[in-house]
Amino acid sequence: MEIAFSINDVPIRLTDERWEHIISNKPYLLDYESVVLKAVEEPVVILRGYAGALIAVLPLGRNRFLHVVYKEVNWEDGFIVTAFIAREYRRSQIIWPSRY
């Protein structure tokens, strides 16, 4: 099990079971485990996800963005749900950094 700390300083778990689930559905992420953890710790933006989830976004190059979906259960625990790469992200869903 690996742990990354979110922008809220919440420990976010990436369990072996969850990582196996991610790479079995998205084998192109096989070599991205450390990048997935980095996305949680150093995102460029956080998007609002479904059912209370957050989505950390990290650029991987031109028109490629790693999305890591995770949940903060409380101030002491959280977990990664899934990850995927997309060509863009929904700017209307940005919740961090906050805009005034």
Q: Is the peptide bond before 97 cis (omega within 30 degrees of 0)?
A: yes
Q: State yes or no: pLDDT of 100 exceeds 60.
A: no
Task: Judge contact between 42 and 7, C-beta under 8 A.
Answer: no
Sequence-separated (6 or more) residues with CB below 8 Å from residue 37: 2, 4, 14
Task: Judge contact between 17 and 81, C-beta under 8 A.
Answer: no
pLDDT digits (tens, 9 = 90+) for 11-35: 999 999 999 999 999 999 999 999 9
Helices (H), 42-86: none
Q: What is the enclosing helix (H) or strand (E) of 69?
A: strand 64-74
pLDDT of residue 35: 98
pLDDT of residue 78: 98
- Domain tally, the chain: 1
Residue type, 96: W
Q: How confident is the model at residue 99 (pLDDT cuts 50, 70, 90)?
A: low
Domain coverage including residue 24: 2-96
pLDDT digits (tens, 9 = 90+) for 36-94: 999 999 999 999 999 999 999 999 999 999 999 999 999 999 999 999 999 999 999 99
